[in-house]
Chain A
Amino acid sequence: AQSVTQLGSHVSVSEGALVLLRCNYSSSVPPYLFWYVQYPNQGLQLLLKYTTGATLVKGINGFEAEFKKSETSFHLTKPSAHMSDAAEYFCAVRLTDKLIFGTGTRLQVFP
């Protein structure tokens, strides 16, 4: 069965530092993987997706993620954090026609 695990429920970085949010997946078939961001009191906004093709995918707001089949990972990165990146980030895998979400990682950015 498909599932995702997000390591670290909270991540804190300084403004300008590298952001790394970890996601590992479990899937019996080639996965479709997604990262969504949730700003306070808002809905879920798609950051980026991997379906097939290039394993390094770029998303909005300078984020990118790399699909690594050998490690069953899809970690989200951003070279330089901004204060506005503070939010909850969810990794998700597609199972049939629905998404299965991880438990989320709350990113805090300190000045």
Chain B
Amino acid sequence: EPEVTQTPSHQVTQMGQEVILRCVPISNHLYFYWYRQILGQKVEFLVSFYNNEISEKSEIFDDQFSVERPDGSNFTLKIRSTKLEDSAMYFCASGAGGRSPLHFGNGTRLTVT
């Protein structure tokens, strides 16, 4: 069964550094998402992406964040200048739209020191 893959599984970075989290969504999906889960907390929506543009973003997704689909297969989340509070598990998801569910990757655990 096709799946969403995320790399790396763990990322440690220093405060103020830029990080890029990578995702390969399911190939025939059209909708792409990033969610995050701070340790012990709920899964929070960050951003949705459709037709090569952001369709919706949450208040968490400020100017430090950006997304890109650079080559038709990868979907990336960039955090320009990381803060301690960006430490979390970041999940990529994709979906076919309509009533179909979202399919999630296994996540990237980001630790900002």
Report which of A46, A97, A100 forms a contact with B50, defined as CB distance below 8 A: A97
User: Which residues of A are at the interface with B, using a C-beta cutoff of 8 A?
Assistant: 32, 34, 36, 42-46, 49, 51-52, 90, 96-104
Question: Is the CB of B18 closer than 8 A to any CB of chain A?
Answer: no
Contacts across chains A and B counted by CB atoms under 8 Å = 50
Are B106 and A97 in contact (CB-based, < 8 A)?
Answer: no
Chain A residues near B41: list those with CB within 8 A. Answer: 103
Chain B residues near A49: list those with CB within 8 A. Answer: 99, 101
Name B52-69 residues within 8 Å CB distance of A.
55-56
Are B101 and A100 in contact (CB-based, < 8 A)?
Answer: no
Are B107 and A43 in contact (CB-based, < 8 A)?
Answer: yes
Chain A residues near B55: list those with CB within 8 A. Answer: 97
- Known A43-B91, A43-B104, A45-B104: A101·B42 in contact at CB below 8 Å: yes
Are A44 and B104 in contact (CB-based, < 8 A)?
Answer: yes
Chain A residues near B102: list those with CB within 8 A. Answer: 46, 99
Chain A residues near B25: list those with CB within 8 A. Answer: none
Are A90 and B95 in contact (CB-based, < 8 A)?
Answer: no
New contact pairs (11) apart from A43-B6, A45-B104, A98-B45, CB-CB < 8 Å = A43-B104, A43-B105, A43-B106, A43-B107, A44-B93, A97-B50, A97-B55, A97-B56, A98-B33, A99-B93, A103-B41
**Could you tell me the distance between the alpha carbons of A98 and B31 in the complex, rounded to whole angstroms?**
9
Chain B residues near A32: list those with CB within 8 A. Answer: 99
Are A103 and B42 in contact (CB-based, < 8 A)?
Answer: yes
Chain A residues near B12: list those with CB within 8 A. Answer: none
